[in-house]
Every structure is written in structure tokens, then in C-alpha cells.
């Protein structure tokens, strides 16, 4: 059987055991404001737009003013409408979607989302535009800190999203909206 043969050859051939390295200190005691600034700089770099809003009401009125037709998780029965069994054709019609991010990473503008944030996994990829709201207290310095916070063993599907879908496959010219969202707006509160 291939499995056993492969494992047998590995056992015979593997080098002498070497330990894992000692990792660098992971916690970065930067003040919140500074982390936010680095995060916003990263968002700029990866082609995401962002806006800082303070109160919950402000977010609601901003979004309903600018995106009156937008789908929002937890509102208007979105979860039922776009459930795991929803047809692909219907999902394909989603124009703009607002999601809530779990945490943000200052060094690269990545925001973590997982199965608990959308009823159907295709949602954040198939939408033409994605808006992610994020609590500024949940911005961490780097990927090491971020993975420490996440429970990978309990995540069926999870993704770090950093900016809108992009490609530079034609002569290295950067184009947004290769397949997924053409733009990403991060609402930081």
C-alpha cells in the first residue's frame, strides 16, 4: 500500500531529529492608537479603503445612507436567505455585503473571518463589494499574536482577508476584482 511504503521510506531516510526553534517574543506592547495607525497604513498598501466611526448609531446611519440596499449579516433574515444550501445563482447576485471581523492584523491589514460570520462560505468571495466592520480594540500587531488568539481546531473554514481580490498577471499591472470583490471597505469603530 502506498501509504505504508511512503511512511516506511520516510522513516528510513529522514534526517536525525532536530528540535523546533525558540520563537521570538510574540507580544508587542504598542499602544492602541499606534497599532491602529500601522493597520491603516497596511490597508492603504493592500488596496482597501477604510473609515473610522465612533458610535454604533453612527455606523448604522453611515451604512444605511451610503449603502441602502446592502445585505447585513443578522439583519433582514440574511442568514436564512443565504444559507448553506442557497443556490449559487442566487449568491452570485449579492452586490454588497457587510460582515463583522474577528480581529485585524496591523502588520499586513489582514482581517480574520470564519464560519461563524457567514451562513454560506461563498458569501465573502462572490460579493461585488465587501464591507467589514472591525472593533479597533481587536487589532493585534502581527500574525503570531493573531494565531495565538484563534482556535484553529474549532474552525471549519476561516480566512484572513487583506484588501480586495487582485491580480497582476498581465504585465504586472495591478487590477482589482480578479474574481471576488472589486473593493473592500473597512469600517473601524
Partner 1 sequence: MIGHSEKAAQFLKDENRADWHDQTLWMVRQKRDRAAWSVPEWEDLREEASQIKNHALSNLDNYLLQFEEKVIGNGATIHWASDAQEFNDLILRIIQKNGAKKIVKSKSMLTEECGLNPFLEKNGLEVVDTDLGERIIQFRNEPPSHIVLPAIHLKKEEIGELFEEKLKTAKGNSDPQYLTAAARSHLREKFLAADVAITGVNFAIADTGTVVVCTNEGNADMGVHAAKIQIHCMGIEKIIPGTNELAVFTRMLARSATGQPITTYTSHYREPKAGGQMHVVIVDNGRSKLLGNETYRNSLKCIRCGACMNTCPVYRRSGGHSYNYVIPGPIGSILGPDSDINKFKDLPFVSTLCGSCTNVCPVKINIHDLLYDWRQEISEKKLLPLSKRYLMKITGIVLAHNTVYNLSGKVARWAIRNLSGELIYHRINVWGRERELPEVPRESFKQWYRKNTLERRSVNEQG
Under the binding rule (CB under 8 A), the answer on residue 29 touching partner 1 is no
- 47 burial type by CB count under 10 A (0-12 exposed, 13-18 middle, 19+ buried): middle
What is the Cα gyration radius of the chain? 20
| Residue 16 C-beta: closest distance to partner 1, Å | 6
Which grid cell is 65? 445612507
**CA 149, 39, 189, 65: dihedral to nearest 10 degrees?**
-130
Q: Given candidates 39, 42, 98, 102, which one binds partner 1 under the rule CB under 8 A?
A: 42
| Residue 74 C-beta: closest distance to partner 1, Å | 19
Q: Given candidates 6, 34, 56, 64, which one binds partner 1 under the rule CB under 8 A?
A: 6
**Residue ranges in 67-126 that form contacts with partner 1 under rule CB under 8 A:** 84-85, 88-89, 92, 105, 107-110, 120-122, 125-126
Under the binding rule (CB under 8 A), the answer on residue 152 touching partner 1 is yes
Q: Given candidates 52, 64, 180, 188, which one binds partner 1 under the rule CB under 8 A?
A: 180
Q: Given candidates 30, 37, 142, 189, which one binds partner 1 under the rule CB under 8 A?
A: 142
Stretch that binds partner 1, among 42-50, 61-69, 74-82, 94-102 (CB under 8 A): 42-50
User: Contact 51/62 with Cβ under 8 angstroms?
Assistant: yes
Instruction: Say which DSSP state 170 is in.
Output: T
- The answer for residues whose C-beta is within 8 angstroms of residue 104's C-beta and 6 or more apart is 39, 110, 111, 112, 134, 138, 139, 140, 186
Q: Given candidates 49, 117, 158, 183, which one binds partner 1 under the rule CB under 8 A?
A: 158
Q: Given candidates 35, 98, 161, 185, which one binds partner 1 under the rule CB under 8 A?
A: 161
Report the distance separating Cα 157 and Cα 165, nearest Å. 18
Amino acid at each position: 500500500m502506498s501509504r505504508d511504503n511512503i511512511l516506511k521510506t520516510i522513516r528510513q531516510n529522514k534526517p536525525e531529529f532536530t528540535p523546533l526553534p525558540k520563537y521570538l517574543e510574540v507580544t508587542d506592547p504598542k499602544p492602541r492608537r499606534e497599532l491602529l495607525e500601522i493597520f491603516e497604513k497596511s490597508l492603504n498598501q493592500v488596496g482597501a479603503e477604510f473609515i473610522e466611526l465612533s458610535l454604533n448609531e453612527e455606523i448604522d446611519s453611515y451604512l444605511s445612507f451610503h449603502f441602502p440596499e446592502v445585505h447585513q449579516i443578522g439583519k433582514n433574515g440574511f442568514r436564512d436567505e443565504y444559507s448553506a444550501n442557497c443556490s449559487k445563482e442566487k449568491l452570485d447576485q449579492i452586490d454588497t455585503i457587510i460582515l463583522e471581523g474577528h480581529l485585524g492584523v496591523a502588520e499586513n491589514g489582514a482581517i480574520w473571518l470564519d464560519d461563524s460570520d457567514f451562513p454560506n462560505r461563498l458569501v465573502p468571495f462572490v460579493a461585488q463589494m465587501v464591507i467589514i466592520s472591525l472593533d479597533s480594540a481587536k487589532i493585534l500587531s502581527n500574525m503570531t499574536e493573531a494565531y495565538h488568539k484563534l482556535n484553529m481546531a474549532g474552525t471549519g473554514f476561516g480566512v484572513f482577508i487583506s484588501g480586495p481580490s487582485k491580480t497582476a498577471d498581465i504585465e504586472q499591472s495591478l487590477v482589482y476584482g480578479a474574481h471576488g470583490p472589486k473593493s473592500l471597505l473597512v469600517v473601524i469603530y
